[in-house]
Each structure stands twice: as C-alpha cells, then as structure tokens.
Chain A
Amino acid sequence: MHPTHTLSSNWLILCLCIFVLFFQLTSSDTGKRGQRRVVENFDQDDDDDLDQYYSDGEFDLPRDVTDNGDEIDADIDTSEVAWNDVDGEDREDSDDEDFDNPEYSSFDEVDIENEEYRSSDRKFSPDPQMTITESKVPVRSTLDAYLGEMLMAVGICVYLLCFLIGRARGERMITAWFEANSDLLYENFSLVGVKDNEHKFLKEREDIYRLWCSGRVGCDGMMFEINLDKRHDLISRMVAIIKSVPDKITITAMLPKEETEHIVFALSTKKQLSRMLKEYEDLIFFASTKVPCDRFGFSQGVLVSACESQEAISSIISTQIAKIIETHFDCFESLHISDQYIGTKADNDPEVVTETPSVTCRIILKLNVPAKRKSIGSRSADMAKMLPMTHLALMLIDRVRKLKLSKETHMKTQKNRAKFQEGQDKKKNTQRMEAAQKKKEEKAKAAHDALMQETDPNKAKKMEEKDRKKQMKKTGVQAKIVKVK
C-alpha cells in the first residue's frame, strides 16, 4: 500500500510556506524603504528639534563650548585662534612637509582673500534674506511600491484556481467512468478497487488514477490505469491549446502462466505497430512479421497485426471482437497479448535496472477517450461510453483462456521460447560477469590507492606482502604442481 499523507496537511504546509516567503520577500527590500523612511520623516513636520534654533528670522546655531564649560562668543575674532591639527599639534610649529606642499599653500591664500571666510567679519547668524521653505517631496503611494508583488500573488492565485477547477473536473470524469463500469466489474471480480478505502481508485497523481480488480477465472487481476489530460496544471492547459493530449485508458490483464497457451500477438495501426515492434522485447523476438487484418472484417489497410502464429490470431480475433473494435475504432489504440512479456527496452535498461526482468502473461489494451466536444459534461459522458471496451477486455481474457494450439504449432512455439530463454540467460550471465569484473577492478584500485597513500613504510611493506601472497595463492597451486613434476 502507498504511504499516505493527507492532502489537507500538504495544502496547509504550502499556504504557510507561501505566506512566510511573501512576508520575507516584501520585508527584505530595504533600499527603497530606507529612502521612504527618510522622506516620511521629513514630511511629518517633526521639526521640533529645529524650532529651538530658529527665531526672529535668524538661525542661531548652538554655540560651541570650551573644555572649561564656557561658551565661545560668536563675535570673537577667530583669526588669532591657532588652527590645530587633529592630533593637537600646532600647525605653525609642525615640521610636516605637507605644510610646505604647494598644493596646500594656496588654501590659506584663498581663505584670506575671500571675504566670506574672513574671521573678523564672521558671524554665526545666516544671511537674513535666506529663508527655509517647506518643500513637498514626492512620495510614491504604497500600492505602487508593491505592484510587482501583487502581480506575482495574482499569478499564484490564478494557478491555484486552475488547479482546483482542473482537479474537480478530473474527479468528475473518473466518477462518471466508474459509475458506468462498476456493475460490470462487480459482476466479474470479487475484489474491485482498494480494500477499506472509500475511493476505489488509487490516485497516483492529479492526472493518473489506478483501479485494481482481482478474483476472476482465467485472470490473476486486471489493472485499469486512467491517464487524464493535465487539467490541473495551467501551463499544460496553455500547451494544450496548441497541441491537445487525449485522455488515455490502459487495461492490463495479468494471466496465470500455467493456464495460458503460447501466444505473442499485437494489433494496431501501421505507425503505432512499427513503434511497438521497436520497443517491446517479446515482439522483437517472436512477432517481427506484419500481417494485414483485412480478413477479420477491418477496413482495408487500417489495422495490422504482428504475430507468432496465424492460428492464434484466428482463434483470438472473433467476428464479435472485430465488430467491437471496428465500431469503436476512434477509441482503439493498440492490443498486445503475450505470454512472454518482459516490458520495453527502456524498462530493462541494465544501467538503470539491476534485477533481471520476470516473464509474465499479459493482455494490454490501450484506449484513447475520444474528444469530440470540450465541455466537461460531454467529457464525462465520453468516459462513460468506454464501457464496451471493458467488455472487450473481458472477452479477450475468456478467448485467451480457451485457446488451444495444434501440436505442431505448440512444438514450434516451444522451440522459440527455449531460444528466447537462452538469450535471456546469456544476457543475465554477461551482466553478472561485467558487474563482478567491475567490482574486482574497484577493489584493486582501492587497495592500490590505499597503498600509495600509506606513509608508514612498515605498514606499506606489510600490505605489499599481503598482496603478493594473494597473487601467489591464485597462481601458487599450479606452480607447486609444476615443481612436483
């Protein structure tokens, strides 16, 4: 069973995290805020500090205070005051070379020449004509400053709205399909859906639903996998405007191996069949020849089959089955029946999958839900119209269960299976040997690296001795035999 975590807790976590991020992002913008604070403070007319210095048209700065606590009289002629350096030394007595630097010498001359800077005329009161006027500093309104954040939040809201609507639509379609097929499923299977679960379907994702049925004669179980179009994802909806993806249903029937006759067979359109003949390993080995299916009553050249034996096709594809496929041709994508099913090449990639694939007997019926109209009511009705295809899958199970091949065909197919098994065993062995070789090389490399990194010469000697003894053991027995001779 799946590890479960409730949807509501995930939503709570997501909402909390979006709120925290939103708050942090909006409060982290210090540059503009800094400026706004300055502007706001300026605009607040909080000039109590300035009022004390402004009276009668004169702006009196606070007077300096000496070390003794006496105020320096502003009218004192400060030309006689010695200009000291920062460190307290008298500049006139300074031997600093910079004082004689021609760059600085002009400064005093300018000061003396410029009347404004003459200390005798210096007063701390400003020009009485100078007035301080209140200037209105333009401040951006609060809403404009958060325009970017508002747009992003609106985008998030739109996406979440699309998610909720798409999810509801998907659930409605699944419910419609189940309501149409439930009677037939309950008549044919003892177990329908997941036990002790109010929702029979197992939700893999918002667009993938699975239903497992079991407890029927001739069948270990049947898996219904419904892959809906991603209606919950806004980006997929936008892509679907250009290229629409149909809703798909895959019906997989697991057959008991001991009761299933030798059969490898595929039926589909030409294009789809060529793709299948490249992907599925059992079709590549057993059913590489293509045979047109006009004699079964299908339209000329529409459907093509690939099979191991002609006898099997004739037994499986009855007139009734051919009629159902012909009638619902817009739903039908492909049919694959095999008692040597091991999956596709991608599923069995040795670099990805370490375990060897197991051989199973399966009927795989792939269907497309026809999308004639786009309203959700009609889409649900389209899902309900897939009931005949469920009938088809059950009929195929019964036909495969009753299939009996002739002795000759049986012997031929038996030989093919023996060859296939040999090939699989060889593959398995080569993979094992390669894995073992890799391990050996890695071990030797690790030992070599350890030896190189060893600083203690005694330890290094011991390690070398060990390696030598190991090598001797491998070749030593033969050497001994030679010696005895």
Chain B
Amino acid sequence: MDGTIGSDPRRPQKVKTYDFVKDPPEGITSNDILSFMGLIFSVLGLLLKIKYICWLAVYCVMIHFCNSSYREEGKQTFSLVM
C-alpha cells in the first residue's frame, strides 16, 4: 500500500506554514468556569474567613492550571493563583 504513485510527491517550493493564531475561538470552556469558581471561592474564603473554601479555591486553580492551554499567557495564570 502506498499513497504515492510513481515519482516523489514532495514539493519543497510548495511548503506553507500554518497560522495557528487564526484558529476559531472556542468560547467558554470548563476551564474558564473553573478559573471563575476559583476566583469566587478565594474571595468568599477571605471575606468569610473559612479556610476550607480557600482550599477549594486552591483546588480549582490547580485543576485550571493543569488543564490550561499553552496559548494562555503565564501572567494570567499567575495572577489567578495569587
């Protein structure tokens, strides 16, 4: 089985680069919801002074970080963690 018929199908002059930035936006993902929840929990934990809510915020941020896309800037993630 061969996808090529006959001569070499390669064409170096036809090389094109793919513009990854132009991919369509995904919309609101579960990761965005997690980051929002982390923010809410952290604020609630600080206001109500309940430590387990703060721990929930830590978990939300950690899960968001582990599932984040590499396109997102590190600054955004860092500010969320802080």
Interface set of A (CB-CB < 8 Å, partner B): 1-5, 9-10, 13-14, 17-18, 21, 25, 28-29, 148, 152, 155-156, 159-160, 163, 184, 187-191, 202-206, 208, 210, 212, 214-218, 220-221, 223, 230, 232-233, 235, 324, 343, 347, 352-353, 388, 390-391, 393-395, 397-398
Contacts and interface: CB of A to CB of B under 8 A. Distances in A.
A190 B10 contact: yes
26 contacts: A5-B70, A10-B74, A13-B77, A13-B81, A14-B65, A17-B82, A18-B58, A28-B49, A156-B59, A159-B62, A159-B63, A159-B66, A190-B11, A190-B12, A190-B15, A205-B70, A206-B67, A208-B69, A215-B12, A215-B15, A217-B10, A221-B16, A233-B63, A343-B24, A353-B24, A397-B3
Contacts of B52: 148
Contacts of B27: 352
A221 B11 contact: no
Nearest to A17: B81
A202 B20 CA distance: 10
A21 B3 contact: no
B17 A395 contact: no
Contacts of A5: 70, 73-74
Contact residues of A: prevailing secondary structure: mixed
Interface residues of B, number: 41
Contact of B3 (A184, A205, A347): A184
B69 A205 contact: yes
B28 to A, nearest CB: 11
Given A14-B81, A352-B27, A214 B16 contact: yes
A323 B55 CA distance: 56
B67 A391 contact: no
Interface of B: 1-5, 9-18, 20, 24-25, 27, 49, 51-52, 54-55, 58-59, 62-63, 65-71, 73-74, 77-78, 81-82
A50 to B, nearest CB: 36
Contact of B69 (A160, A204, A214, A397): A204
Contact of B66 (A2, A206, A218, A347): A206
Contact of B15 (A191, A202, A395): A191
Contacts of A163: 66
A391 B71 CA distance: 31
Contact of A214 (B17, B59, B71, B82): B17
B62 A188 contact: no
Nearest to B75: A5
Given A215-B11, A221-B18, A205 B74 contact: no
Contacts of B82: 17
B14 A216 contact: yes
Contacts of B9: 188, 216-218
A218 B13 CA distance: 13
Contacts of A160: 62
A241 B12 CA distance: 47
Contacts of A155: 59
Nearest to A357: B24
A28 B18 CA distance: 51
A35 B78 CA distance: 36
Given A10-B74, A25-B54, A216-B14, A230 B3 contact: no
Nearest to A230: B67
Contacts of B1: 324, 388, 391
Contacts of A29: 51
Nearest to B10: A190
A312 B55 CA distance: 60
